[in-house]
Chains A and B, each alone.
Chain A
Amino acid sequence: MLRYYLKLGLLSIRRTPILSTLMVAAIGTGIGACVTIMNIEWAMGANPIPHRSELLFAVQLDSWDPYEAWEEPNEPPPQVTYRDGTALLAAERARRQVLSYKTWRVLQPADEAQRPFQVISRSASADFFPMFDVPFLYGGGWDQSADRNEERVVVIDRETNETLFGGENSVNRTVIMNGRPYRITGVLDDWQPMPKFYDLNNRSFDEAEQVFFPFSVSIADELSSSGNTNCWKMPDGTGWEAFRNSECVWMQFWVELHGAGERQEYLAFLDAYVEEQKQLGRFPRPLNNRLSNVGEWLEWNGVVADDVRVLLGLAVLFLVVCLLNTIGLILAKVLRRRGDISLRRALGASRLAIFSQYIVETAVIGLAGGLLGIGLSWFGLQGIRALLGGAPMTNYLTEIDWTVSGFGIALAVVSALAASLYPIWRACGIQPAAQLKSL
């Protein structure tokens, strides 16, 4: 009977083209608005490293101002000081740990005809690559001895390799960075974790860095951060040494831990470390250390902006208004077809048969509305992209997601069915004899 009901549904849609078009338009507009905002929220809340997100933990130590929390009511700062970062790194109490920060560098192509260009780079300890499962096109990262020995080694991304070496395997070749030679140990394959979970300072949807080199080298070269640096009190003195020993936070520290036991142990270690530092007159606030896995970290940083959630709420309300209109339209359609229903009832259709017929017809209309909604959301996302410019972040956030689209179509069908329940219930109540004389 499903095919029969499908045929009847299509015939009915053809028989009432204006009402049917209005219904599809009402559902499509509501779904379009919802799917547009859902796409953005979905992209913002996406898990950038799903297979490891439960193993990676951002470390927060509350080394902040005793009189004013980093963020009320009692949130610790999102970054660590140089002193704490290097101490935790040296302690090696986790399976892996990485200390890193963002900084700018200037690359000099081997071909002197080419002009030097600025690259965004990351100074990181060796575990950065295996911990964050960074894919390599050629070679690999460096080891901990390179960190210890301040070796001038570098990993470049695919695009930089294209620019400098035409895409060839450049491992062991030399690149000049800020006038100093660095040996290339690896070339990254495409890698753009979105959101950029390992450093959510500045913008959460920035592109990954183009160049990576050892943390120890950047410290030796006295390279400051090009990300956020926050201090609750001035350094004791001037110069690089004073800055390194200050209470300013400017580095991101991550650890890899497997299971609740390791997490608990590491948190105990952090508390012990802070208690020890308190003896030295640091950490004036009460113990308030945190370990956040990737999902918790994105949530803590409010990666999905509140205004997007408000917009989503408004879009859902708009969908509800569209569905209320749809209820009226379906009711009008059903009442126009009283004669047909009455006749079918006389010829042997049960209430269930009439219910099934109109449910299938409504599902077809919901499906059409869903497809229209996906089309409208595509235009909506393109409009947002055009409005905000073609930055990588905008492109990422406005990319249509087929999971969300599939959900949108399912939502359209379910919404249409929900909207049709009252009208169809009315239709099922039409008596077989009600309209036969007046037909």
Chain B
Amino acid sequence: MQNISKIYRTESVETHALREFSLTVDEGDFISVTGPSGSGKTTFLNLAGLLEESSGGAYELDGRDVSSLHDRERSRLRNEKIGFIFQSFNLIPELDIFDNVDVPLRYRGFGRAERKARIDKVIDIVGLGSRRHHLPSQLSGGQQQRVAIARALAGEPRMLLADEPTGNLDSEMAESVMQLLEAINADGTTIVMVTHEPNLAARAHRNISVRDGRIDNGAPEAALSVATGG
């Protein structure tokens, strides 16, 4: 990302959520993003995940300029290259585990056998092999987040974007989810994780701090990371 800005406009108010935001994420990296509420962490994550369009600046994903793509192309890139993990899991309540993990694969256009193989694999990775036909309501919070991770992994994305993935979990479950993310990263998947918790942020390869829509240059480590591009 180079000089990315994001402005939300209403009739009377103009809010600068991100200003001149520049960041390079390398393949296989594990970055934590911290900052106070309203600082722009989630906006950054939404822009990185092509969920929103920036108001200015340039964004290259996997070597390709994605700043001004049409909806269809952005949807395809989201589906193929990015996995999302949300604080509140965002599982579809009427679908069982198998079908929840299946959602992004359906939009990818895989055949039945390919989808099944991928789903079985990722459900086993997150340790829920015996619960594939349970509904989300039949699982604990930690298990639901594991399903969300499985869903994010199923498409074998280049990058996982996690927005406070342990925010709704107790410490034991949070630790279990964190270990899973570390294992996934160790296998080569790039992870960008927004978190409020300093001890989790410290487990990332590097941390950037966001304040008032900018990378906080007062935080020495962040300044160094951004300046060197990792």
Q: Which residues of A contact B (CB under 8 A)?
A: 1, 4, 11, 14-15, 339-340, 343-353, 431-433, 436-437, 439
Contact = CB atoms under 8 A, between A and B. Distances in A.
B202 interface: no
Contacts of A352: 72
Given A15-B94, A437-B42, A439-B90, A346 B107 contact: no
B51 A431 contact: yes
Interface of B: 42, 46, 49-52, 71-72, 75-76, 78-80, 84, 86-88, 90, 92, 94-95, 103-104, 106-108, 151, 155, 163
Contact of B72 (A350, A432, A436): A350
Nearest to B76: A348
A14 B95 CA distance: 12
B94 A431 contact: no
B79 A347 contact: yes
B45 to A, nearest CB: 9
Contacts of B50: 432
A365 B106 CA distance: 23
B52 A347 contact: no
B84 A347 contact: yes
B52 A433 contact: yes
Contact of A348 (B52, B78, B86, B94): B78
Given A431-B51, A439-B86, A347 B46 contact: no
B51 A346 contact: yes
Interface hub of A15, A431, A436, A437 (most chain B Cβ within 10 A):
A436
B51 A433 contact: yes
24 contacts: A11-B95, A14-B94, A15-B94, A339-B90, A343-B92, A344-B103, A345-B51, A346-B49, A346-B51, A347-B84, A347-B151, A348-B76, A348-B79, A348-B107, A348-B108, A349-B107, A350-B75, A350-B107, A351-B71, A352-B72, A353-B107, A432-B52, A439-B86, A439-B90
Given A346-B51, A437-B42, 20 more contacts: A11-B95, A15-B94, A340-B92, A346-B49, A347-B78, A347-B84, A347-B104, A347-B107, A348-B76, A348-B107, A348-B155, A351-B71, A433-B52, A436-B84, A436-B90, A437-B86, A437-B87, A437-B163, A439-B86, A439-B90
Contacts of B104: 347-348
Contacts of A14: 94
Contacts of B51: 345-346, 431-433, 436
A348 B155 CA distance: 10
Interface hub of A346, A349, A352, A353 (most chain B Cβ within 10 A):
A346
A350 B88 contact: no
A77 B95 CA distance: 72
Contacts of A343: 90, 92
B92 A349 contact: no
A339 to B, nearest CB: 8
